[in-house]
Amino acid sequence: MSRARRVLVVGIDGVRLDTLHRVPTPHLDAVADAGFLAPVTVGEDTPTMSGPCWATGVRVTKHAVWSNDFSGHRLGVFPDFATRLARQDARRTYTAAAWEPLVTVADGGPMFRRPTRLTHHAPAADTPAAWEEADASTVRDAVAVLTHEDPEASFVYLGAPDETAHHLGCGDAYEASVQAADRRLGDLLAALRARPGHGNEAWTVLVVTDHGHRDEGGHGGDSPAERTAWLACAGPDITAGACPARPVRHEDVAAQVYAALDRTPDSHWTLDGREVPTVPRGVLLDMDGTLVDTEPLWLEASRTVAAAHGHHLTEAEGATVLGRTCADTAVGLARLCPEPTTVAGLETELEDTFLAAVEAGVELRPGARALLDRLEGEGLPAALVSASPRRVVDTVLRTLGGEAFRTTVADGESDRSKPFPDPYLKAAARLGLPPEACLAIEDSPTGVAAAEAAGCRVLAVPSAAPIAPAPGRRVRTDLTALLREWGGDGARMT
């Protein structure tokens, strides 16, 4: 059963990126390590105020919030993600915030107009201590909701760091407030793990800030310290330690929420943001049916050997050999074929027949050459992980060229073959990477099962058998789609 998709967005107001690099923030670091942490430059036409570009997915010229007074906004036309999901998709959404314009009519609000569940704890006074207590109360309520209820998309706002900077500047008290916000983030993450159904859920977590601060405190200007924000994101569709393939923008946050929920934005929403494409730390590529169009050759080889021993493979039986090793297929044929034979003999016949077909020539799958050239040219660690015998792999490598691969794993070179995870675990270990930092590219359900069992994120490009998308598994028609997502602008890939 596919895991249920859920999203938590945590907005920590006014946290400078250089402060994150200087003070301990272990919970935010954990999110970044499981996905990415990227700088966000506030758009040059956008004031460095608490504008809702990230919540709405559109630029300031559309939502028309130009300052901390939201009067004159167009949030009815361009609503926040919690409102849009609740009103248009009947999704359960939750918002928790202490700053009044986010959730009340104060100063032209609310920005979050109609979530299905709301928590609000206004600070008792406009002081750093009162804001710390308001954030603490907000998180206590949010922990209860996230643990015991089931919102599909949630937003929790922490405002104390921003208010502390306004009152006291970006010194020791500010850094202490940032660390307190990180501890509260840890409480929220622990609440997700404590959910009774957590094992059957796929959570995407986004942590975002809206702007930085001047050293003396304050924002609204154009200095790099004010205009530099950041986004951390981790989830089932993002490899650990990934690198965004293009600069990240505030308006991408809402788009990332929709993508995490597998919700395709309506073109009428006219979003300016897009899901953030990421490049993994390593790529593990299947061979047959993924890089080269050999699945028909393998199916024909299996049919030929079966026919030679008195059995005609049905369409359903043929589907079961895709992605399988010669040894596994030989075991299956031994049960099907009426003429007496041995598994070892069938395995040899299958390998010889398939090898002869491969030696006669193979065609590359669409995008395969461009992808391998990109991997080689930009130095992204890559491995070939195949269920074919070494003789077949080496023959195909003469066509593909082995320059893009730092290592190759063929059938028999791990304790168990696909659909077990062993080949992918071995390949990742040879690259010196954890499996969760790798993207596995597969064309068959058998290969997908192996890669997912190893803990890899998966890109499926089905060749013969259909494959459904799932958390941690994207499905594309061919490899050119991946290249388009990565872009051609020379984005750093390592």
Tell the burial category of 21 from Cβ atoms under 10 Å away from its Cβ (0-12, 13-18, 19+).
exposed
- What span, in angstroms and rounded, lies between the C-alpha atoms of 109 and 90? 23
Q: In 3D, which of 183, 193, 103, 92 has the Cα closest to residue 135? A: 183
Catalytic residue among 288, 328, 411, 443: 288
293 classed as catalytic? no
For 59, phi then psi, to 5°, come to -80, 170
Nearest to 55 by CA among 117, 103, 118, 111: 111
Which tokens sit at 256? Answer: 């990332």
Residues whose CB is less than 8 angstroms from the CB of residue 121 and which lie 6 or more positions away in sequence, other chains included: 98, 134, 137, 138, 141
Catalytic one of 286, 328, 411, 443: 286
Told to judge if 288 belongs to the known catalytic residues of this protein, a careful annotator would answer yes
Query: How far apart are alpha carbons 100 and 98 in whole angstroms?
Result: 6
Q: Which residues are catalytic?
A: 286, 288
